[in-house]
């Protein structure tokens, strides 16, 4: 059977059950309140959104610095870090686990990435696999990983309150333009049972003759909500979606002893519920309705089962991103 929590943990959970049940009941009450508040906030955010003046770009070059899947010889981890380059500048999007995993620094060195001309760092949301590790998440501070020293002192655009002694923190509170001709959806909110309300921003760029490229971190607000925001910000068609959709239906890339982490934390559901085929159905419907032509899919928060379903059911050409590769969109 596909256990999210190994049977080896069950005696521990049974012993802790009196305290655990009370804690879960309290958590569930808060979760339901935050769920209602998140839906209300997103409705207000969407209703107040106005179009962005997105410039027509010649192209977008995506360099994958960290991913779950990877080219031979490159490091990997269940987190993401992408370098985005246009003719108007460049951004570093997310830091994976920073120095807590060797993959990011190793790949930056191997690919000879020079950040001296990179305009800014953008963090999609404040989870360890995007903001630089578990220590960073606990301390709510953005670190400066090895290989990124040239970015010291540059702006760091974040969707929630956070500190850093390395970057000039710029909190994004609504949709707007970032450097390199790339826009932000602003923070969209998702109530996650074990992690609380999570604010996540996605990026968008308009490619001349093609349309909008949407770049997500985990896609916690759901791709439906993200695409709804994109249609508020531009009337151009959605050409491509890049990044995570968070669909760990049958497995979790991030594991700890006896635990399939992403099938428990970050699902947006109580731990006794799972992400199911229903969520995959909704993603397929949203992407097909939007007329997306290409899906550059992150493997860091999804299972092989969901990847196979997307490949078969989407009208978009679907590929899985690999660390160590460059993609020209």
Domains of the chain, with CATH numbers? 10-328 (3.60.15.10)
Please check whether residue 44 is in contact with residue 262, taking contact to mean a CB–CB distance below 8 angstroms: no
Of 148, 287, 282, 152, nearest to 216 (Cα)? 287
Interval 237-247: pLDDT, tens: 999 999 999 99
Strands 61-66 and 81-86: antiparallel
d(CA 299, CA 306) in angstroms, rounded, equals 10
Of 59, 99, 96, 89, nearest to 217 (Cα)? 96
Please check whether residue 47 is in contact with residue 175, taking contact to mean a CB–CB distance below 8 angstroms: no
Average pLDDT, the chain: 95
Stated pTM of the model:
0.95
Band (1; pLDDT cuts 50, 70, 90):
low
SS3 readout for 247-314: ECCCCCCCEECCEEHHHCCCCCCCCCCCCCHHHHHHHHHHHHHCCCCEEEECCCCECHHHHHHHHHHC
pLDDT at residue 13 is higher than 70: no
Question: Residue 64: beta bridge partners?
Answer: 82
């Amino acid at each position: 059977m596909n256990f999210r929590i190994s049977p080896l943990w069950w005696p521990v959970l049974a012993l802790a059950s009196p305290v655990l049940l009370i804690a879960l009941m309290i958590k569930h009450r808060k979760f339901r309140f935050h769920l209602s508040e998140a839906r209300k906030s997103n409705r207000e955010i969407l209703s107040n959104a106005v179009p962005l003046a997105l410039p027509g770009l010649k192209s977008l070059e995506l360099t994958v610095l960290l991913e779950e899947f990877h080219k031979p010889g490159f490091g990997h981890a269940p987190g993401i870090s992408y370098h985005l380059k246009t003719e108007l500048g460049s951004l570093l999007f997310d830091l994976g686990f920073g120095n807590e995993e060797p993959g990011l620094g190793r790949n930056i060195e191997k690919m000879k990435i020079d950040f001296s001309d990179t305009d800014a760092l953008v963090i999609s949301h404040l989870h360890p696999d995007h903001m630089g590790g578990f220590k960073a998440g606990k301390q709510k501070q953005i670190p400066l990983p090895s290989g990124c020293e040239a970015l010291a002192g540059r702006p760091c655009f974040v969707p929630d309150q956070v500190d850093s002694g390395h970057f000039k923190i710029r909190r994004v509170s609504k949709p707007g333009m970032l450097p390199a001709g790339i826009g932000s959806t602003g923070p969209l909110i998702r109530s996650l049972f074990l992690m609380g309300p999570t604010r996540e921003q996605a990026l968008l760029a308009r490619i001349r003759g093609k349309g909008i490229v949407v770049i997500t971190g985990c896609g916690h607000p759901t791709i439906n909500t993200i695409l709804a925001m994109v249609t508020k910000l531009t009337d151009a068609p959605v050409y491509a979606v890049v990044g995570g959709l968070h669909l760990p239906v049958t497995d979790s890339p991030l594991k700890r002893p006896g635990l399939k982490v992403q099938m428990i934390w970050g699902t947006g559901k109580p731990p006794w519920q799972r992400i199911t085929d229903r969520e995959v159905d909704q993603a397929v419907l949203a992407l097909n309705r939007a007329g997306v032509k290409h899906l550059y899919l992150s493997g860091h928060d999804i299972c092989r089962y969901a990847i196979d379903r997307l490949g078969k059911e989407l009208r978009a050409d679907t590929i899985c991103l690999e660390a160590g590769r460059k993609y020209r969109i």
